[in-house]
């Protein structure tokens, strides 16, 4: 039996597991082609594009713990915000403006918060765990809100200057550098995450999500693995936050709190949880729709989002990619019939 035959009965070729084909499929090159094409074809929208790429990175971090490890959290914005503020404070208050350094520090700070909180909350489950994620995010929000000398409080942190990347590429007004910088980082993180998901560790995560009891019964160090993936996810979210700071050269208080966590979950559910590329599709569709619609009809926007969430949960749990899969499967069945 050679690895790589599609799992019968699901219509989905998943690269996870010991029987799977982990080689890159040609379809996986499409997002990158599209992103590069957008750079040339849509030069007026590159700032927006950078924002989409940042949120894709953020969504990827959430998918890692929510879709793959099965950790339910409402406070993921804490890591995003910590990364954003770390970069912002370093640049605006301490004059450290090298973008690579800022990303590294942001990842480190978010990672420290991730491992500290993860070690503690991953011992709990259910409502207690959910509450703790909310409470931790709320604490971060309060600190950012009140520590005005450091964070600018409710007005946000401005005066963030970023020096050229590698000394060569200046952040320009049109967002070209920002776009390519975000794309580069997204590519790097995506590659790492994909490797992780296809690896034995990734198979473990799926096992933990499906049946944690069983994982204990086969001798897996469940808690340790959850803390590890939680910390990694926090670091990626921190990098995303720092990218946002670099792109906007500003840190607003709205990177923290319930709203970004909630919005991110909507984006991920829209695209499809646990599918790696749901994190690509969701933010793109959501942010594009928001850009077009929300400005015209802001109240109806939230109504529409809420309605969409309700409908997705009731009728389309796999998100857009799930619907796409279903259509593909149906077309295939008809082709054989």
Partner 1 sequence: MGVTLETRGLCKSFGALTVADHIDFRLEAGVRHALIGPNGAGKTTFVNMLTGRIAPSSGQVLLGGEDVTRLSQAARVRRGLGRTFQINTLFRGMSVLDNVALGVAEHRGVAGRPWWPASAYADVRREAMALLATFGLEEDAQPRVVDLPYGKQRLVEIAVALGLEPKVLLLDEPASGVPSLESERILLALERLPRDIAILIIEHDMDLVFRFAQRITVLVQGEVLCEGTPAEIAADPRVRQVYLGERRG
Partner 2 sequence: MEAAASSLVSIAFHGVAYGMILYVISVGLSVTMGLMGFTNLAHGVFAMAGGYILTSSISRFGLGFPLALGFAFVLVATASVVLERCLYSRLYAASELEQVLFTIGLIFMAVAIAQLIFGTLQQPVLLPDALRGQFRLLGREFPAYRVFLIVGSGAIVAALWFGVERTRWGAMVRAAVDNRVMAQSIGINTKRLFALTFALGSGLAGLGGALGAEIIAVQPTYPFEHLVYFLTVVAIGGLGSLRGPFVAALFIGVTDTACKYWLPQFGAFFIYIATIAILLWRPAGLFGVRA
Contact between 115 and partner 2 by CB under 8 A: the answer reads no
- Smallest gap from Cβ 191 to partner 1, in A, equals 11
Q: What are phi and psi of 249, to 5 degrees?
A: 55, 40
Q: Which x/- pattern, by CB under 8 A, does the window 144-163 give for partner 2?
A: -xx-----------------
Q: What are phi and psi of 173, to 5 degrees?
A: -70, -20
Contact between 52 and partner 2 by CB under 8 A: the answer reads no
- Smallest gap from Cβ 290 to partner 1, in A, equals 33
- Smallest gap from Cβ 302 to partner 2, in A, equals 4
The helix/strand/coil state of 251 is strand
One DSSP character per residue, 131-167 reads HHHHHHHHHHHHHHHH-HHHH-GGG-B-----PPBTT
Query: Which span sits near partner 2 by CB under 8 A: 29-37, 138-146, 156-164, 220-228?
Result: 138-146
Q: Which x/- pattern, by CB under 8 A, does the window 230-249 give for partner 1?
A: --------------------
The per-residue b/e assignment along 122-133, b for 16 or more CB within 10 angstroms, e otherwise, is: beeeeeebbebb
Beta strands in the chain (DSSP E): none
Q: Which is nearer to partner 1, 18 or 166 (CB)?
A: 18
Structure token digits, residue 88: 């912002």
Q: Using the structure block, give the residue that is written with the tokens 């600018």.
A: 152
Q: How far is 318 from 312, CA to CA, in rounded Å?
A: 8
- Smallest gap from Cβ 209 to partner 2, in A, equals 10
Q: How far is 321 from 278, CA to CA, in rounded Å?
A: 6
Name the residue among 247, 237, 309, 225 with its Cα closest to residue 273: 309
Number of residues that bind partner 2 (CB under 8 A): 43
User: Which among partner 1, partner 2, none contacts residue 66 (Cβ within 5 to 8 A by kind)?
Assistant: partner 2
Q: How far is 89 from 93, CA to CA, in rounded Å?
A: 5
Contact between 21 and partner 1 by CB under 8 A: the answer reads yes
Q: Which is nearer to partner 1, 142 or 210 (CB)?
A: 210
**Structural contact between residues 183 and 189, judged by C-beta atoms closer than 8 angstroms:** no
Q: Which helix (H) or strand (E) holds 249?
A: none
Contact between 206 and partner 1 by CB under 8 A: the answer reads yes
Q: Which is nearer to partner 2, 45 or 209 (CB)?
A: 209
User: Which among partner 2, partner 1, none contacts residue 108 (Cβ within 5 to 8 A by kind)?
Assistant: none
The helix/strand/coil state of 169 is strand
Contact residue for partner 1 among 148, 211, 254, 288 (CB under 8 A): 211
Q: What are phi and psi of 226, to 5 degrees?
A: -65, -45
Contact between 6 and partner 2 by CB under 8 A: the answer reads no
Q: Which is nearer to partner 1, 53 or 198 (CB)?
A: 198
Q: Write out the residues near partner 2 by the rule CB under 8 A.
A: 66, 72, 74, 120, 124-128, 130-132, 134-136, 138-139, 142-143, 145-146, 258-259, 262, 265-266, 269, 273, 299-303, 305-310, 312-314, 317
Q: Write out the residues near partner 1 by the rule CB under 8 A.
A: 1, 3-5, 7-10, 15-22, 195-196, 198-204, 206-207, 210-211, 213-222, 225
């Amino acid at each position: 039996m050679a690895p790589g035959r599609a799992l019968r009965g699901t219509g989905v070729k998943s690269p996870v597991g010991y029987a799977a084909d982990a080689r890159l499929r040609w379809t996986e090159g499409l997002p990158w082609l599209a992103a590069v094409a957008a750079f040339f074809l849509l030069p007026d929208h590159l700032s927006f594009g950078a924002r989409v790429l940042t949120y894709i990175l953020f969504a990827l971090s959430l998918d890692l713990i929510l879709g793959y490890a099965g950790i339910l959290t409402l406070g993921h914005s804490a890591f995003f915000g910590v990364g954003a503020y770390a970069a912002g404070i370093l640049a605006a208050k301490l004059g450290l403006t090298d973008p690579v350094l800022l990303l590294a520090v942001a990842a480190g700070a978010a990672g420290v918060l991730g491992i500290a909180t993860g070690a503690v909350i991953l011992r709990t489950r259910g409502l207690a765990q959910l509450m703790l994620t909310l409470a931790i995010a709320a604490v971060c929000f309060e600190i950012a809100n009140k520590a005005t000398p450091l964070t600018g409080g409710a007005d946000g942190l401005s005066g963030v200057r970023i020096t050229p990347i590698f000394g060569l590429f200046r952040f320009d007004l049109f967002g070209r550098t920002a776009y390519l910088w975000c794309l580069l980082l997204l590519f790097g993180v995506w590659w790492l995450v994909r490797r992780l998901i296809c690896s034995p560790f990734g198979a473990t995560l799926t096992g933990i999500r499906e049946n944690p009891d069983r994982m204990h019964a086969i001798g897996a160090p469940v808690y340790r693995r959850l803390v590890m993936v939680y910390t990694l996810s926090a670091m990626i979210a921190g990098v995303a936050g720092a990218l946002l700071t670099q792109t906007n050269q500003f840190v607003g208080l709205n990177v923290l709190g319930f709203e970004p966590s909630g919005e991110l979950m909507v984006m991920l559910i829209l695209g499809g949880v646990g599918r790696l590329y749901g994190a690509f599709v969701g933010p793109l569709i959501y942010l594009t729709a928001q850009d077009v619609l929300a400005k015209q009809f802001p109240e109806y926007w939230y109504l529409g989002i809420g309605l969409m969430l309700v409908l997705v949960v009731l009728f389309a749990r796999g998100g857009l990619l799930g619907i796409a899969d279903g259509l593909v499967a149906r077309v295939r069945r008809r082709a054989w019939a």
